[in-house]
Amino acid sequence: VEGASPPDVIIEYGEAPAQLSRPQKRTGWYEAGPGEFLLCIDAIARYYVHGGRRIVIAPVPGVEKEKILIFLMGSAMGALLHQRGVLVLHAGAVAANNHAVIFPGPSGAGKSTLAAGLHQRGFAFLADDVCAVTLEDGAPAVIPGFPRLKLWEDVLSRLGKDKDQLKKVVWTRNLEKYFMPVNHEHDLPVPLKTVFALETSDAKHIVVCELKGAAKIDPLIGNTYRLGFLEGLGGKKEHFRQCAKLAAQTAVYRVLRPREKFLLDELMDVLEAEF
């Protein structure tokens, strides 16, 4: 379009290298070096991410686009954000009272389920799984992500959603995961106010405790998205500084939920009271 600004990020199909020439870190599924990153997913695609500006996808012939998309939205986009110096957390996020609330946690902690449940209650969706936090202009803010959630079949049933109307994207542990589109209500970063770090425990009840001092940093570092990428990409010192700055400017809570039973409605009630 004449007069339009150049794209901030370019994502395209093309030729991706089979390997990086001088990686600082190499594993069985990715290679990383300063300014470049190569993700190799068997039977799906190779993703070459460079300069924090471009992702080139070399798909396996005939692979479903949804399978390509799940790794693009996840590890490839996470690597690009790391290249740009953005703090990337393994978290869900919604907006409440014109502020962002995020839910970092390990896989299985319930980040996506909680974000979906709160969105169903009327809170604006911001991010699922890959949560980008900018610390520019002195204050933390969440950058809105892709307007879709990845949810297990049993979670969709709990939320009253029809899985037959959605795209199936993952098969594992005899459960099926689906993309669920959500409304995209925010285009600009939303100021971040509160962090609820999700954990599971053997307790029978939900326990919420506010963290103080240096303890606030631990769940941010521990729930950084693909933290190992930084060993090859560089920037681990800057990452620690970002986590410390975020901890200093937000309220951080540890949320323990029963491992054997999710108690979604009870958890949402407890957190809404803290909002």
Instruction: Enumerate the β-bridge partners of residue 200.
Output: 257
pLDDT at position 156: 87
Task: Kindly state the tokens that stand for 275.
Answer: 């909002």
Rounded CA separation 51/78 (Å): 13
Cβ contact 151:177 at 8 Å: yes
pLDDT at position 224: 98
Instruction: Please count the other Cβ atoms lying within 10 Å of the Cβ belonging to residue 35.
Output: 12
- Mind listing the pLDDT tens digit of every residue in the chain (275 residues)? 455 567 889 999 999 999 999 999 999 999 999 999 999 999 999 999 999 999 999 999 999 898 899 899 999 999 999 999 999 999 999 999 899 999 999 998 999 999 999 999 999 999 999 999 999 777 999 999 988 888 888 888 888 888 888 888 765 455 568 888 898 789 999 999 999 999 999 989 999 999 999 999 999 999 999 999 999 999 999 999 999 999 999 999 999 999 988 899 999 999 999 88
Give phi and psi for 24, each to the nearest 5: -85, -20
Pairing state between β 99-104 and 190-201: parallel
pLDDT at position 3: 55
- In three-state form (DSSP H/G/I as H, E/B as E, the rest C), the secondary structure along 213-273 is HHHHCHHHHHCECCCCHHHHHCCHHHHHHHHHHHHHHCEEEEEEEECCCCCHHHHHHHHHH
Rounded CA separation 14/204 (Å): 51
Instruction: Enumerate the β-bridge partners of residue 191.
Output: 141
pLDDT at position 51: 96
Sheet of 175-181, strand order: 148-152, 175-181, 167-172
Task: Kindly state the tokens that stand for 88.
Answer: 């990337």
